[in-house]
Amino acid sequence: MSITTRRKARDDVYKLVFEYLFTKKINQKLLAVTCANNIPREDVDYIKKVYFGVIEKFQELKIYVEKYAEGFVFERVYKTDLTAILIATYEILYMSDIPNNVAIAEAIELVKKYSTPKSSSFVNGVLSSINKDISKG
């Protein structure tokens, strides 16, 4: 899979997870539309795995965010930042085929695109702390 198609797939799953943060419901219609846009099968698999994985592991991922987003209450973290953090944390914990530094770098790219100018340093700090803790084993 090329970096470009994975980046597009990550962008697509970002939008799905972002919506989930507001509705707390799986949007099968949006998922179907997203996956029907002539995208490679492996991108469809990635989108579904991450989307359903973040939803399934939401409470566990929330614990990581609460632990490492020091000074921030989970519900008050910008949803644009939170979405990227949840996706990257899921990738770090459950997708060994994605290097942790790639998951973090891609999350930073998403917040540069969708969030505030200060968000990239916040997201990097949270994810780097999670990665450091995970790497200790």
Total-model pTM: 0.95
118, HSE (Cβ side, Cα atoms, 13 Å): 2
pLDDT single digits (tens) 73-126? 898 999 999 999 999 999 999 999 999 999 999 999 999 999 999 999 999 999
pLDDT value, residue 39: 86
Sorted by where each begins, the domain ranges of the chain are: 3-136
Return the DSSP state at 137.
-
Tokens for 75, please give them: 């519900």
Q: At the fourth CATH level, which superfamily is domain 3-136?
A: NusB-like (1.10.940.10)
Q: For residue 86, what are the contacts with CB-CB under 8 A and spacing of at least 6?
A: 17, 54, 58, 61, 65
Instruction: Determine the average pLDDT of the residues in 29-45.
Output: 90
pLDDT category at 37 given cuts 50, 70, 90 is confident
Q: Nearest 10 degrees: CA dihedral of 96, 41, 12, 125? A: 10
Return the DSSP state at 25.
S
pLDDT value, residue 86: 98
pLDDT single digits (tens) 47-73? 999 999 999 999 999 999 999 998 888
Give the number of residues written for the chain. Answer: 137
Residue whose pair of structure tokens reads 């200060």 in the numeric block: 118
